[in-house]
A = this chain, B = another copy of it.
Amino acid sequence: MAAPSAPYGDVTTQGASTNIAWHHASVDRAARAQRRGHRSAILWFTGLSGSGKSTLANAVNAALFEQGLACYVLDGDNIRHGLCKDLGFSDADREENIRRIGEVSKLFLDAGVVVLTAFVSPFKADRDRARALVAAGDFIEIHCAADLDVCEQRDTKGLYAKARAGEIKDFTGISSPYEAPEAPELRVDTGSQTLEQSVELVLEHLRSAGIIPQAG
């Protein structure tokens, strides 16, 4: 046991059950990937309201979890009422909302977690800023490309009806533009494919990109 007067940070490896700690004073992403058996990545789902972003992200997350991978979904449910509850829907606040989501995603990436974000994120500039926070290959943009008429017909949350009635201003696709990704890593036709087909497309992309192991 080191003398209690030893300077803090001046560490011995004698006698302590925790001396293993000193071999990795800082746990980095590579160590986490080696331990977990998979890389981390940001899966950035973007698309119109009702296009199935959150449904698809949660289904992919469940599939990854079943395979024993570290994964987590960021969506309106856990962001808008927490980290971003001080933000409204002005242009500046929407931009700040996406900025924070990008930064939090980067933290999860660093923590070795496959993080899945499910936000409309209609503006290319905002998505590109999130992409620029991390290295090439760490940001996988997934366009949930259901057509507007399909999304509006579903209207799972009744928001399109309200937007058409003028009760919601600046609603993406109705009264505010959606800038579709020009070259996303993956485009999924969530308008006509089944959820199963969409999940398999995403998983196959992650396998071929070397992020998750090949299916056993």
Q: Which A positions have Cβ atoms within 8 angstroms of B?
A: 1-12, 16-27, 31-32, 35, 52, 55, 58-63, 65-66, 68, 70-72, 74, 78, 82-83, 86, 96, 100, 103-104, 106-108, 110-111, 113, 133, 146, 154, 190-197, 199-200, 203, 215
Contact = CB atoms under 8 A, between A and B. Distances in A.
Given A5-B192, A52-B8, A107 B58 contact: no
A18 B31 CA distance: 28
Contacts of A1: 194, 196-197
A82 B83 CA distance: 14
Contacts of A203: 18
Given A83-B100, A106-B82, A190-B8, A200 B27 contact: no
B12 A196 contact: yes
B65 A194 contact: no
B110 A107 contact: no
A104 B58 CA distance: 19
A4 B52 contact: no
B111 A68 contact: no
A5 B26 CA distance: 51
Copies of the polypeptide in the assembly: 2
30 contacts: A1-B196, A5-B192, A7-B154, A8-B191, A8-B194, A8-B195, A9-B55, A11-B195, A18-B199, A20-B66, A21-B63, A21-B66, A21-B199, A25-B62, A27-B58, A27-B65, A27-B71, A31-B65, A32-B65, A35-B65, A35-B68, A72-B107, A78-B107, A82-B103, A83-B103, A83-B104, A83-B107, A100-B100, A104-B107, A108-B111
A1 B59 CA distance: 17
Contact of A111 (B10, B27, B113): B113
A58 B9 CA distance: 11
A12 B66 contact: no
B194 A58 contact: no
A26 to B, nearest CB: 6
Nearest to A9: B55
